Amino acid sequence: MKARHKRFAIVIAGLAALGVATVLVLSALNDNMSYFFSPTQVAAGEVPPDHVFRLGGLVEAGSVQREEGDLTVNFVVTDTAKRVAVAYSGILPDLFAEGQGVIAQGKMGPDNVFIAEEVLAKHDETYMPPEVAAAVEAAGKMDQRHPGGQVQ
């Protein structure tokens, strides 16, 4: 084999290794991404099956139910158009309240209940996560009263 062919083989092997590394990195990033969906999109079936995603909206007033002697909390997230039941086992953020914005990360369960692994609440009375505000606005009722209380 000539020196020229050896250099060519090394360049081709290097490009192949770079291609394999790129595919592995992109695959790992795709597995770790969690997309945001509103309750309307979840009800329409737009969520990927068996994939972690974020559900955002407002906690519906009167929907929070706690299991006696357990950390399990059940509540409903709404974007004023559709509702999604959520089950979460753990300690909720201090600012979690009915009628407030919330983002929950998890998967849809077999009984169409969103099983949350993490719950994030808004940080003050004037802030609403941008994804939640966009979902509520897309539902067309940003300035109207809704089951979760008054949007600020």
Domain boundaries, the chain: 1-33, 35-138
pLDDT in tens, 3-34: 888 899 999 999 999 999 999 988 887 766 77
Residue with tokens 């929907």: 63
Q: What is the pTM of this model?
A: 0.65
Give the CATH architecture of domain 35-138: Beta Barrel (2.40)
Provide the pLDDT for residue 34: 72
pLDDT in tens, 54-63: 998 888 889 9
Percent of the chain with pLDDT over 90: 28
| CA nearest to 149, candidates 64, 88, 92, 89 | 64
pLDDT in tens, 131-140: 777 777 777 6
Distance CA 148, CA 43 (A): 18
